[in-house]
Amino acid sequence: FHHGVADLKAKVLRMIGDPVTRYQEDPVRMLRAVRLSAKLGLKIDAKTEAPIQKMADLLQDVPPSRLFDEMLKLFLSGHAVESINALRAQHLHHGLLPLLDVVLEQPLGEKFVMLALKNTDERILNGKSSNPSFLFATLLWHEVLASWQVHQKQGHYAIPALHMAMNTVIDIQAEKMAIHNRFTATMKEIWAMQPRLEQRSGKRPYAVLAHPRYRAAYDFLLLRC
C-alpha cells in the first residue's frame, strides 16, 4: 500500500503521510530520517527531505533529555561518520551540540572529532562496546581547551582553570542537550587526567595507573596524539 518493498529495492527512505505534518507532530523524526538513511545507506525521498532544513528550528522545542537519547542512538549506530556528515548536509547539527558547531569549522578540531567517530564506528562494527562518555569527551575536548586557555589568561592556575573550563563547557552544552550526569562525571575524569598523563617525571605518572578511568584517559591521550 505504501510501496515499501519498491522503496527498499530502490534504497529510498520515504515518510508515510505528509512530511511537514509528521515533523510538526514530532521534530525528532527529522533526526531519525537522517540516522536511518546513514545507517542503511538509503537516499531520503525528495518530498521527505525538502522540509527538513526549513523546519530544523522545531528541534529547539524538544526536551534536552530526549534530544540526548536520540543523538546517542545516532552516534552509537556504527555509522557515526556518515550520520554527522548527513546532519551537516541537512544543517541539523547546528544547535544540537552547540560547541560542536565551532569545532567542525576548525581543521584540527574537525580532524580530531572525525577520528573519534571513526574509531567508535570501528569498535561497534567489530562487536566491541563503546563508552558514550569517551565519545562526548572527544566531541567537546577542543572547546574545553579553548575555555581552559581563557581561564588561565584570567590568572587562574592550570589545574583549577581546567576544572573551571570543564564546568563551563558542560553547562553551555546542557542548555540544548542534557548529557546524563553519569556520563559527564566520567567525561570530567578523562579530561582531568590529561595533564597528569603528560607528566613523565617523578612518581606521579605511576600513581594514575590505579585510577579506574586510566584506560579510557590513556586511550583519549593516544587519540590526541
How far is Cα 167 from Cα 186, in angstroms, rounded to an integer? 13
State the pLDDT at residue 201: 75
For residue 137 the three cell numbers come to 569527551
State the pLDDT at residue 97: 66
Q: Which domains does the chain have, with CATH numbers?
A: 97-224 (1.10.3090.10)
Contact assessment for residue 123 and residue 129, using Cβ atoms and an 8 Å cutoff: yes
How far is Cα 204 from Cα 200, in angstroms, rounded to an integer? 8
Contact assessment for residue 108 and residue 72, using Cβ atoms and an 8 Å cutoff: no
State the pLDDT at residue 86: 87
Cα dihedral across residues 174, 134, 106, 142: positive or negative: positive
State the pLDDT at residue 14: 93
For residue 170 the three cell numbers come to 558542560
C-alpha angle 14-15-21 in degrees, rounded to nearest 5: 150
User: Residue 137 pairs with which residues in a beta bridge?
Assistant: none
Per-residue pLDDT reduced to its tens digit, 3-20: 678 877 889 999 999 999
Output the CA–CA distances (angstroms, integers) from residue 54 to 30, 49, 57, in the order listed: 11, 10, 7
Contact assessment for residue 67 and residue 111, using Cβ atoms and an 8 Å cutoff: no
Per-residue pLDDT reduced to its tens digit, 21-60: 999 999 999 999 999 999 999 999 999 999 999 999 999 8
- Could you list the beta-strand ranges (E) of the chain: 12-13, 43-44
Question: Which residues in the chain show pLDDT less than 50?
Answer: 1
> Cα dihedral angle (137, 87, 127, 109), rounded to 10 degrees?
-40
How far is Cα 197 from Cα 211, in angstroms, rounded to an integer? 11
State the pLDDT at residue 3: 67
State the pLDDT at residue 1: 47
pTM of the model: 0.84
